[in-house]
A and B are shown apart, each in its own frame.
Chain A
Amino acid sequence: MITYCPTLDGSAALAISAIDAYSEAGQEIKRIVKDGLRHLAQPKVEALMVELDQIVKESAHETLRIDAETADAASEFVSLLPWDFPLPEVSPDPDGEILFDWLGPSGKMFSASVNKTGRIAYAGRFGERSKVHGTEQLSTTFPQDILRGIARATS
């Protein structure tokens, strides 16, 4: 079953958690839906994926490599981003995580860092006395606190 979840920006996010992920048919449906979503989200998501691949490839020549699990978690994070959200800047973090930065007007900024376990650490700075930070876990929908932070930083 596919459920449509409203998001903050008014677009619809697809959640596929209701599929029985353990059956073969369930896995197949999940894959088809995921591929379909990726196709619809192109070229934005595709551009980010290409950038992500490049970062992982380049890290192979550095002291601190981005491992496959971290790259997968970061790809999952990108695939969950709402389609009409501004694109982040992507960069490798010195601790092996992948960092996504949104820079808004008047120095507002929001950052989210994804590690190999799917833990997303985030922080936002919207003014000298207006800051947020926290952690979320990657799941089938994009974390609402992070969506709010991105929207606040880029508006």
Chain B
Amino acid sequence: MSASGIDGLAEKAIWQIGDKIRSTPARARADFKAEIVNDIQVKGAHLTIELDPQPHDPKHVNVCGWPPDKDLRLSIAQDLCAKSMLRIRLEAD
């Protein structure tokens, strides 16, 4: 899973990261604290965050260590979702 470090970035700059990797403008995003990746309590999951700087996004990271079983991956994704903050893009952004 791809993610980006957003500490210290203005809202506009955060949305622009999403715009660069999508064919259409980003409309929503999920913000989460890096620590929650370590708190994921799903059997068999040992997720880690690995730095993967990209030209368009120097703070790009990959969330690695997803288990092979799809049902476990869904369960982890639900945990991440529950612990994230949904942000809807405003017209001004």
Contact = CB atoms under 8 A, between A and B. Distances in A.
A binds B: yes
Interface of A: 95, 97, 107, 109, 111, 113, 115, 119, 121-125, 128, 131, 133-135
Nearest to A119: B70
Interface of B: 42, 69-75, 77-79, 81-82
A97 B71 CA distance: 12
Nearest to B78: A125
A111 B74 CA distance: 7
Nearest to B74: A123
Given A123-B78, A131-B42, 9 more contacts: A109-B78, A109-B82, A111-B77, A122-B71, A122-B74, A123-B75, A125-B78, A131-B75, A131-B79
Most buried by B among A97, A109, A133, A135: A133
B58 to A, nearest CB: 24
Nearest to B43: A133
Contacts of A119: 70
Contacts of B75: 123, 125, 131, 133
B42 A135 contact: no
A149 to B, nearest CB: 11
B71 A135 contact: yes
5 contacts: A107-B82, A123-B74, A125-B75, A133-B72, A134-B71
A91 to B, nearest CB: 12
Contact of A109 (B69, B71, B72, B81): B81
A125 B78 CA distance: 7
Most buried by A among B42, B71, B75: B71
B81 A123 contact: no
A57 to B, nearest CB: 16
Most buried by A among B73, B74, B77, B78: B74
B81 A113 contact: no
B34 to A, nearest CB: 19
Contacts of A97: 70
Contacts of B73: 121
Contacts of B74: 111, 113, 121-123, 133
